[in-house]
Structure 1
Amino acid sequence: MDKNKIKEICQIYGPSSAEGSVSSYIINEIKDYADDYEIDTLGNLIAHKKGNGPKMMLAAHMDQIGLMVNFVDDDGFLRFSTIGGFSPYVLFNQRVRFENGVQGVIHCERLQDMAKDLAIDKLYIDIGAKNKEEAEKLVRAGDICVYSAETYFNGDVVVSPALDDRIGCYIQMETLKQLKNPAYDTYFVFTVQEEVGLRGAKTSAYAVDPDYGIAYDVTLAYDTPNALKFPMKMGEGAAIKIKDNSLICHPTIVKHMEKVAKENNIKHQFEILTAGGTDSGAIHLTKSGVPSGVISVVTRHIHSDSEMCSLEDIKACIDLSVKVLETPMN
């Protein structure tokens, strides 16, 4: 487990539609392990590991959630809209950073709003500008910011913004590096614009035209106080998805993952979600249909600046991925 690599990839600026720095980083990491790679028209990075079996597409999204400036008012405060899913209560008092390095703080019109139904349109970004003219020398309408927070490690856990889904990208990178005897002709796809509608997965899956698909993403942890009753717990291993709001995973893929995990003593658990989705939601509907599944990392505080997951779970996901790709499906 390379903590430095996890920190590096999580700290790269890369909201939906601006994933270029992330793909450049990944290319540098995988170029000696892939047989070939390309960046397609939309910006997806597609790395190919040749094999003699059926065609397998793997997918992890590079983009993180962000906020786009809509308007700069006369006093230099920035009004914004969301790119991806945000809770206004999570956003309140958070620091954000723009691609050019400018940072700001999110606050609300009146503190009384915090006790009512706080909404995105009651929030603004304060970059410390005196007026509109000064603010627009630094930031303009259309610019996108992301959470500004450090990545740190406490024992077995990592806490960071953008674990959704840079940790999936890290798992794919490590899987590609460790994969020796693929049972599939494998395409490692690092997708764009997942947070705004699985867009990169739709176009890349159409181009790859796979026989099978597997996505890597985070999933909600239900091990915190007063949590709803679902099986996912941080530290209990790789999560094999059964369903979410974007797909019901194909039984052949689920059974294959479970069989491989048991045969190789890889710690695992099962995932059931009633909301949310992953790139497999787009992959499985490609052309005439693609049997698809998901390997997830159980993560606390998703879509905050302090997402948290277990390093042992990450390792279990890598181990399971390698073994799944080296084992033909019956």
Structure 2
Amino acid sequence: MAFDFDFDLLKELTEERGVPGYEDRVRDLVREELETTTDDVRTDAMGNVVGTIEGDSDYAVAVAAHMDEIGFMVKHVTDDGFLKIDALGGWDARVLRAQRVTVHGEEDVTGVFGSVPPHTLDEEPDGDEEVGDRVVDLGRDAEEVEELVSVGDLVTMDQTTVQMGDSVTGKALDDRVCLFAMLEAAREIENPDVTIHFCATVQEEVGLRGATALGVDVDPDLAIALDVTIASDIPGVSADKHVTELGDGAAIKLKDSSVITTPKVHKRITSVAEEEEIDHQIEVLPSGGTDTAGFQNTNGAKPVGAISIPTRYLHTVTETANGDDIRATIDLLTAFLESEDGEHDYSL
């Protein structure tokens, strides 16, 4: 299957490194893209990037997707040259065993999360592992490690992004696949009726901090957030816990743990999907927050909506999304924004 979108850009975005608060490398890519597709690009003090397409109306819509990925910060270097780390974002320590990482010290160096061979274990591993229990091995002696690494240096997972059947798999699809969808929509939209702010946010993984701050400066009339959502449609998980299904289209969010989307907004997103015959499904997410809430909580009451890309194996290095779902999300976002004229009544 050949994907109907710019896979090379998606690969570049997902393979780049950018943990919360240190999204610089991703920000450079985003600015480069938005400078060719929008009328004005700016960066605020937190590092959020906003590319604006000026419409004929004073009505403004903000679209947000976050740049940061979960990662780590070095908190201690042992006398033997091993690194102890602190999590930046939510990790399940079990998925870290024997994974390769990059430590961003004086230079980028490769490391691995150490793992005790099963041959030497006297009992089964403790299921209550903590990220702080893991150590990173750089394969160097302590003296060399001390020259290369300091407390406060960043650590990211090392993984490539590849096509796997009809899907894409790699690290940081959360949320670079949605960041990609937003950038593609900015490329495809021409002469909108309303002003559109395409917002690449920071620090979502540590509490929606970038979007909350951004909402003060941008202050839109309507906000639409893009993020991945759970697709647990795999063996061993009951159907009621799937949330979404890979291949069933873009997910239109009704709720997550941070927000209940405005009913008139998600109904209009749904009507656009139906009119344009874009594959879509409804998302009711029991846990997990998104940038949607950042806009709703900043400058008072705002109508908000959200479109999600179903993704398996979230917060691992093998996050997996379906190519048709990615294309459907780009199409739905583009169609919604092109049909927004500022006259829709989202009041309750």
Contact 1:65 1:195 in 2 (8 A): yes
Which residue of structure 1 lines up, in the alignment, with residue 275 of structure 2?
A: 263
Q: Report the alpha carbon displacement of residue 107 of structure 1 after superposing the two structures with TM.
A: 2.2
Asked if residue 114 in structure 1 is aligned to residue 121 in structure 2, the reply is no
Contact 1:172 1:188 in 2 (8 A): yes
Amino acid at match of 1:257: I
Cα distance in 2, alignment partners of residues 314 and 303 from structure 1: 18
TM-score normalised to structure 2 length: 0.91
**Structure 2 SS opposite 1:114:** coil
Asked if residue 294 in structure 1 is aligned to residue 303 in structure 2, the reply is no
Amino acid at match of 1:91: L
Q: Report the alpha carbon displacement of residue 203 of structure 1 after superposing the two structures with TM.
A: 1.0
Amino acid at match of 1:85: G
Q: 2:266 aligned to 254, 262, 265, which one?
A: 254
Asked if residue 17 in structure 1 is aligned to residue 27 in structure 2, the reply is no
Cα distance in 2, alignment partners of residues 287 and 205 from structure 1: 7
Which residue of structure 2 lines up, in the alignment, with residue 281 of structure 1?
A: 293
Cα distance in 1, alignment partners of residues 10 and 39 from structure 2: 24
**Structure 2 SS opposite 1:182:** coil
Cα distance in 1, alignment partners of residues 68 and 316 from structure 2: 14
Asked if residue 126 in structure 1 is aligned to residue 130 in structure 2, the reply is no
Cα distance in 2, alignment partners of residues 247 and 27 from structure 1: 28
Which residue of structure 1 lines up, in the alignment, with residue 184 of structure 2?
A: 174
**Structure 2 SS opposite 1:137:** helix
**For residues 199-243 of structure 1, what are the alpha-carbon distances to aligned partners after superposition, in whole Å with 9 as ceiling and x for unaligned?**
110111110011111111100002111224144001110000010
Q: Residues 116 and 275 (structure 1 numbering): CA distance in 2 closer, same or farther, change over 3 Å?
A: closer
Identity of aligned residues (%): 38
Which residue of structure 2 lines up, in the alignment, with residue 86 of structure 1?
A: 91
**For residues 251-302 of structure 1, what are the alpha-carbon distances to aligned partners after superposition, in whole Å with 9 as ceiling and x for unaligned?**
0110110000000000000111111011011111121221111110000011
Cα distance in 1, alignment partners of residues 81 and 251 from structure 2: 45
Cα distance in 1, alignment partners of residues 34 and 299 from structure 2: 29
Which residue of structure 2 lines up, in the alignment, with residue 200 of structure 1?
A: 210
Cα distance in 1, alignment partners of residues 65 and 29 from structure 2: 15
* Higher mean C-alpha deviation, range 214-223 or range 118-127: 118-127
Asked if residue 70 in structure 1 is aligned to residue 94 in structure 2, the reply is no
Stretches of structure 1 lacking an aligned partner (at least 5 in a row): none
Q: 1:237 aligned to 215, 237, 249, which one?
A: 249
Which residue of structure 1 lines up, in the alignment, with residue 112 of structure 2?
A: 105
Amino acid at match of 1:222: S
Which residue of structure 2 lines up, in the alignment, with residue 157 of structure 1?
A: 167
TM-score normalised to structure 1 length: 0.96
Amino acid at match of 1:286: T
Q: How does 1:26-65 map to 2 (within 5 A)?
A: 26-53=30-57, 54-65=59-70
Asked if residue 8 in structure 1 is aligned to residue 18 in structure 2, the reply is no
Q: How does 1:205-244 map to 2 (within 5 A)?
A: 205-228=215-238, 229=240, 230-244=242-256
Amino acid at match of 1:168: C
Q: CA RMSD in A?
A: 1.4
**Structure 1 SS opposite 2:148:** coil
Contact 1:77 1:129 in 2 (8 A): no
Contact 2:243 2:285 in 1 (8 A): no
Contact 1:108 1:122 in 2 (8 A): no
Q: Residues 116 and 263 (structure 1 numbering): CA distance in 2 closer, same or farther, change over 3 Å?
A: closer
Contact 1:241 1:296 in 2 (8 A): yes
Q: 1:322 aligned to 334, 344, 347, which one?
A: 334
Contact 2:230 2:243 in 1 (8 A): no
Amino acid at match of 2:337: L
Cα distance in 1, alignment partners of residues 325 and 26 from structure 2: 23
Q: Report the alpha carbon displacement of residue 13 of structure 1 after superposing the two structures with TM.
A: 1.3
